[in-house]
C-alpha cells in the first residue's frame, strides 16, 4: 500500500506517490485539465492511478493564504476533496501547501533546470513536497519527535 499526494490547480494536478515504507515521495505525472470546472477526466485518471498502485490514502495540498485564511482556491480544493472521496472511497487528508510551489521552483533553479522548462515539472514537484511533508510529519509523530 502507498499514499498519493496531489497538488490541485485550475489547469493541472501534480501527482506523487510514496514508497511502500512511507519514507519518500516520488513524482508520477502532471494531469493536464481541459477546463477548471470539468473534473470527470481528472478524477478518472486519479482513479486509474489509485488502482495501479494500491493507494491507501490521498494527501491533498490545501492552499491557505500566507496569513492562514482560506480564499477561493481553498474552497475549490474542498469541493475537489469531496469529489475525490465520493469517487475513490478513500480518505483524503488536507495538507497545508503554503510555499510548496516556491520551494519546487527553487529546487529546479538549484538543479539547473532552465526557466522555460520549469513549468513542465513544478506541479509534480509540488505534489512530491506536499506528500513528503505529510510523510515526515507522520514519522515524527510515530517517533515522538516534535521537530524542535
pLDDT per residue, tens digit, the chain (148 aa), is 899 999 998 889 999 999 999 999 999 999 998 887 788 999 999 999 998 877 789 999 998 767 777 778 889 999 999 999 999 999 999 998 876 766 666 776 777 767 776 666 778 888 988 999 899 888 766 666 544 4
Between CA 94 and CA 55 the distance in angstroms is: 16
Q: Which helix (H) or strand (E) holds 89?
A: none
Q: What is the pLDDT at residue 123?
A: 80
Q: What pLDDT is recorded for position 56?
A: 84
Of the candidates 13, 85, 95, 90, the one whose C-alpha atom is nearest the C-alpha of residue 56 is 90
Residue 148 maps to a domain = no
In a domain, 32, yes or no: yes
Which domain does 124 fall in, by range? 2-143
Is 124 a member of any domain?
A: yes
User: What's the total number of domains in the chain?
Assistant: 1
The pTM (predicted TM-score) of the whole model is: 0.83
Do residues 132 and 63 lie in contact, with contact meaning Cβ atoms separated by under 8 Å? no
Q: What is the pLDDT of residue 16?
A: 95
Apex CA 3: angle with CA 64 and CA 100, to 5°? 30
The CATH number that applies at residue 62 is 3.30.420.140
Are 123 and 10 within 8 A, CB to CB? no
Residue 118: all three cell numbers together: 520549469
DSSP 41-84: HHHHHHHHHHHHHTEEEEEEEE-B-TTS-B-HHHHHHHHHHHHH
Amino acid at each position: 500500500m502507498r499514499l498519493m499526494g496531489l497538488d490541485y490547480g485550475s489547469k493541472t494536478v501534480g501527482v506523487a506517490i510514496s514508497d511502500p515504507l512511507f519514507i519518500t515521495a516520488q513524482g508520477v505525472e502532471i494531469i493536464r485539465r481541459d477546463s477548471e470546472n470539468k473534473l470527470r477526466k481528472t478524477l478518472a485518471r486519479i482513479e486509474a492511478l489509485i488502482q495501479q498502485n494500491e493507494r491507501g490514502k490521498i494527501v491533498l495540498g490545501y492552499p491557505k493564504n500566507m496569513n492562514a485564511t482560506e480564499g477561493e482556491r481553498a474552497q475549490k480544493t474542498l469541493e475537489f476533496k469531496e469529489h475525490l472521496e465520493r469517487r475513490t472511497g478513500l480518505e483524503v487528508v488536507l495538507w497545508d501547501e503554503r510555499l510548496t510551489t516556491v520551494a519546487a521552483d527553487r529546487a529546479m533553479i538549484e538543479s539547473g533546470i532552465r526557466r522555460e522548462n520549469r513549468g513542465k515539472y513544478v506541479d509534480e514537484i509540488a505534489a512530491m513536497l506536499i506528500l513528503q511533508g505529510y510523510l515526515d510529519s507522520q514519522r515524527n509523530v510515530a517517533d515522538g519527535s516534535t521537530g524542535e
